[in-house]
A = this chain, B = another copy of it.
């Protein structure tokens, strides 16, 4: 009888730890089947675990018949455990094959997935997303999400080193942060509420209590855009720092980008992966002023006027590539909390971090004085009453502060050359997709 339950079996070794010097050693390996080849007296099964691939070789006369017969019948993606003995084998992965003596089959697969785990590109992304958990077994995605986890770790390590405090701010809020557009409404018991499109006002308040804070958490935007770079739910890396301005924040962002590229480079080197287009670590990320770029764009034939947003289609005309900052944006279209640059009420202390024509991060110096903030809000037509919970904090000594948000999924696109933001997201959400 082939067992079907885990019981007291535990994996003793991962595929990447196997090597020919273990000749004769008994091991227990577990994973999912990536191929079965039946040569009659010899059956080769390739088994994948989270660290790689290994070969199970069932040889008639050596391997119990019952096991050999079970293995032959198993379809790709079935999940099993094998107890067996390590033997050197020049042709097998890592020069090792496992000769099975016991088998447990946890999960028998009957169906064939509409895409294969080795495939790099599948024509229709929806086919994949409908079976996302299985799609995520594909090598090309496995690496992206392993790098994503490492990049998150390296960013947190940077922020801890710089003595930022990790915080969590509420995602269910009473008032829109930056106006009423693009919000998901919720029923909060008997009240109307919204999902937070950014932790903006909370993180500003927390500079008063903790000076330097960061949050890595979901943000929610009801933007009906159907593009390769917009999500309805995304992970935002938010930081905010007291007693600093947008230049200090750009310097943090630059350090974070450099560390993240290094993390991805190191991963690809150590796993010998060459499937990704990784940017070079820049010595210094160039900074262009908005005004300077509009000038250049106009000379290149763009229709952009001073004051307009810089759309990818127009930005493309001046062919900026890699990472760069666009700073000193016009003040008027900026949110109410963004500070003017010195006495010039036309320009703001703000920046976007770009990668080619993709916006990765947006930041600014914020207003710390209540009067100034109220003035800006009134000019923008906000009702001050709705923001009383925020404004009252400014009566108690809010420090000068600055901060930014970095889009994690877009950052991963830039770091790996991934073209669709959905492939840097475990279960993407957009205007057409709420499942799985």
- Listed in ascending order, the chain A residues whose CB lies under 8 Å from chain B are 4-6, 10-11, 30, 32-33, 49-50, 77-79, 81, 106-107, 109-111, 113, 130-134, 136-137, 142, 145-146, 148-149, 152-153, 156, 160, 163, 165-174, 184-189, 191, 193, 195, 202, 205-206, 208-212, 217-218, 220, 222, 224, 232-233, 235, 242-245, 248, 368-369, 389-390, 392-400, 425-427, 429, 431, 434-436
> Which one of A30, A170, A174, A205 has the highest number of Cβ atoms from chain B below 10 Å of its Cβ?
A170
CB distance from A177 to the nearest CB of B (A): 13
Assess the B131–A392 pair: CB atoms within 8 A: yes
Tell me which of B11, B168, B172, B435 contacts A389 (CB under 8 A): B435
Among the interface residues A153, A173, A188, A232, which one has the most CB atoms of the partner chain B within 10 A? A188
Inter-chain contact B427/A202, CB cutoff 8 Å: yes
Q: Complex Cα distance A436/B387, Å?
A: 9
- A251 CB, nearest partner CB in chain B, Å: 12
Residue of B nearest to A28 (CB): B243
A131 near B436 (CB under 8 angstroms)?
Answer: no
A396 touches which of B109, B166, B212, B434 (Cβ 8 Å): B109
- What residues of B have a CB within 8 angstroms of the CB of A233 in the complex? 170-172
CB distance from A70 to the nearest CB of B (A): 15
| Contact A168 B426, beta carbon cutoff 8 Å | yes
Whether A166 contacts B149 in the complex (CB less than 8 A), given A218-B217, A395-B111, A426-B202, comes out as yes
Alpha-carbon distance A398/B360, docked complex (angstroms) = 35
Q: Smallest CB–CB gap between A59 and chain B, Å?
A: 25
Most buried by B among A33, A132, A173, A427: A427
* Closest chain B residue, CB of each to CB of A425: B168
Contact A137 B209 (CB under 8 A): yes
A149 x B170 contact (CB < 8 A)? no
Cβ contact within 8 Å between B78 and A170: no
Residue of A5, A6, A165, A235 with highest tally of chain B CB at under 10 A = A6
Q: How far is the CA of A68 from the CA of B89 in the complex (A)?
A: 84
- Complex contact A434–B145 (CB within 8 A): no
Q: Are A50 and B212 in contact (CB under 8 A)?
A: yes
Contacts of A30 in B (CB 8 A): 242-243, 399
CB neighbours (8 Å) of A142 from chain B are 209-210
